[in-house]
Amino acid sequence: MEPALNPYSPGSGLQPGFLAGRQAEIDAFDLLLVRTERSFSNRGMVLSGLRGVGKTVLLNRLRGLALHHDWLTIKIEGQPGEAGAAEARKTLARELQVASRRYIGRVGLEKFRQLLGTVTSFTAGFGVEGISLGVERDPARAGTGLIEIDLRDLIEDVSAAMRSIRKGFIIFIDEMQDLDEDLLSALVTCQHHAGQLELPFYIVGAGLPNLPARLAEVRSYAERLFDFRLIGTLAEADARESFTVPAKQVGAEYGSKALDILVDVTGRYPYFIQEFGSAMWEVAQASPFTEEDAQAAATIGLQRLDSGFFPSRWDRATPREREYLATMALDGDQGSSTGEIAQRLSAKATSLAPTRGQLIAKGLIYSSEYGKVAFTVPGMADFIKRQHHEI
Ligand SMILES: Nc1ncnc2c1ncn2[C@@H]1O[C@H](COP(=O)(O)OP(=O)(O)O)[C@@H](O)[C@H]1O
Ligand SMILES: [Mg+2]
């Protein structure tokens, strides 16, 4: 088929031609916007799931809805380590400058004077220079350099300003499980505080399946602050549509056998759907796509995953870490007990902790529950077994 018309978008955070099966989350978010504008209270939202299920694209879609409603929004991304912690604070400050500046033109300076003074003070405190907002910093607000206090001032003043025009303020956070403890707990505390003051402020976060547990760890009341949504593989009908709808938009169709084969081989996992759909587009000579086309696409899709998606993770691991991963692979995708891994490697669980920590920091595994670890992408265990001779 014509390469320029390929309607599939394999990748990270790339909007799919058709965002299938996420209407419930979109509706819930829409309700949050509408209810807030009518002064009803709400909870923030947390999306959690493995890599490649579509959390980032959903988060971006939700942000699009909020912008459409003229809300003030910013987006930050968690990154592990000390550099990541500094970066998250800088991005927070920088994004606030940009977002509030964009807003002045619309609502006029008077209503936003306090907001701008506080944002200026907050950004100075975190070492971000940059665009002037045309207002002196307010030395009494958000100027201590202590994240917990400054963030609280900031969120109070920004959301109070937004409330005066019946809108709200949202911080979208991707890879939220990687935020450092200080920032994470400051954010959760602010969400709690805003709820009590009936301020229209929300955190909408996305992260790995351990994110809800991390939130509960930093603040035990976190479990009541958010609407938690598990984002996973698509339902059968939605998986079919995510193949057929984008194809139809450019005038192509699947034969029913062809569609069965591809839905099956992807396990209804969104990233694989895009990868195999794209391979289908490349191999098919004409529409409707046939069973043979689908078989060829399945082979090519899998080869592509085996030469890109999986090795890009495997290659990041050191020999010692690979040994750990290979030991985990024996348990498949559902996860392994850290004690059992230690036993298999004839080592003490504590002596393996640094290796495990490195693998978590590299985003290859996550701690799915206490004493357990699992791969962050589906199919990794099988890949390692297929490649075990290379360990
Ligand atoms: N609901 C969906 N329907 C079809 N494809 C999707 C859907 N959500 C995501 N995708 C595709 O899956 C891939 C991974 O999406 P991404 O948002 O980066 O996942 P995550 O953030 O969970 O790792 C992208 O190629 C994207 O186009
Ligand atoms: Mg993502």
What tens digit of pLDDT does each residue of 202-251 get? 999 999 999 999 999 999 999 999 999 999 999 999 999 999 999 999 99
Is 55 a pocket residue for ligand 1 (Cβ < 6 Å)?
yes
Look at residue 86 in the predicted model and tell me its pLDDT.
92
Look at residue 107 in the predicted model and tell me its pLDDT.
80
Look at residue 312 in the predicted model and tell me its pLDDT.
93
**CA of residue 369 relative to chain centroid, distance:** 19
CATH topology of domain 317-390: Arc Repressor Mutant, subunit A (1.10.10)
Look at residue 374 in the predicted model and tell me its pLDDT.
96
Return the percentage of the chain with pLDDT > 70, whole number. 99
Mean predicted confidence (pLDDT) in 264-288: 97
The type of residue at 190 is C
248: left (phi over 0), alpha (psi -120 to 50) or beta: alpha
pLDDT digits (tens, 9 = 90+) for 44-73: 999 999 999 999 999 999 999 999 999 999
Look at residue 390 in the predicted model and tell me its pLDDT.
54
CA distance 22 to 56: 12
CA of 238, closest atom in ligand 1: 3
Grouping H, G, I as helix, E, B as strand and the rest as coil, residue 22 is coil
Look at residue 225 in the predicted model and tell me its pLDDT.
97
Mean predicted confidence (pLDDT) in 76-84: 93
pLDDT digits (tens, 9 = 90+) for 119-173: 988 988 887 776 778 888 888 899 888 999 999 999 999 999 999 999 999 999 9
**Which has the minimum average pLDDT: 100-109, 282-291, 375-384?**
100-109
Look at residue 106 in the predicted model and tell me its pLDDT.
79
The residue whose CA has the least distance to atom 15 of ligand 1 is 54
CA distance 388 to 382: 10
Mean predicted confidence (pLDDT) in 189-197: 96
Question: Kind and range of the H or E element at 226?
Answer: strand 226-230
Grouping H, G, I as helix, E, B as strand and the rest as coil, residue 144 is coil
Look at residue 136 in the predicted model and tell me its pLDDT.
84
In this structure, the chain runs to a length of: 391
**Which has the minimum average pLDDT: 102-111, 169-178, 227-236?**
102-111
Look at residue 126 in the predicted model and tell me its pLDDT.
80
Two tokens, residue 231: 């984002």
Ligand 2 being an ion, which residues bring their Cβ within 5 A of it?
56
Mean predicted confidence (pLDDT) in 334-346: 95
Do residues 377 and 365 make contact, with C-beta atoms less than 8 angstroms apart? no
Look at residue 139 in the predicted model and tell me its pLDDT.
86
Q: What is the DSSP string of 153-184?
A: HHHHHHHHHHHHTT--EEEEEESGGGS-HHHH
The type of residue at 214 is R
CA distance 355 to 317: 10
CA distance 8 to 11: 10
Mean pLDDT of all residues belonging to the chain: 94
Question: Kind and range of the H or E element at 253?
Answer: none
Parse the chain into domains and list their residue ranges: 23-230, 235-313, 317-390
Look at residue 69 in the predicted model and tell me its pLDDT.
97
CA of 284 to the centre of ligand 1 (A): 23
Look at residue 26 in the predicted model and tell me its pLDDT.
98
CA of 53 to the centre of ligand 2 (A): 8
Return the percentage of the chain with pLDDT > 90, whole number. 84
Predicted confidence (pLDDT) at residue 389 exceeds the cutoff of 70: no
User: 391 or 313: which carries more pLDDT confidence?
Assistant: 313
Look at residue 347 in the predicted model and tell me its pLDDT.
94
Look at residue 134 in the predicted model and tell me its pLDDT.
81
Is 24 a pocket residue for ligand 1 (Cβ < 6 Å)?
no
What is the architecture, at CATH level 2, of domain 23-230? Answer: 3-Layer(aba) Sandwich (3.40)
Is 56 a pocket residue for ligand 1 (Cβ < 6 Å)?
yes
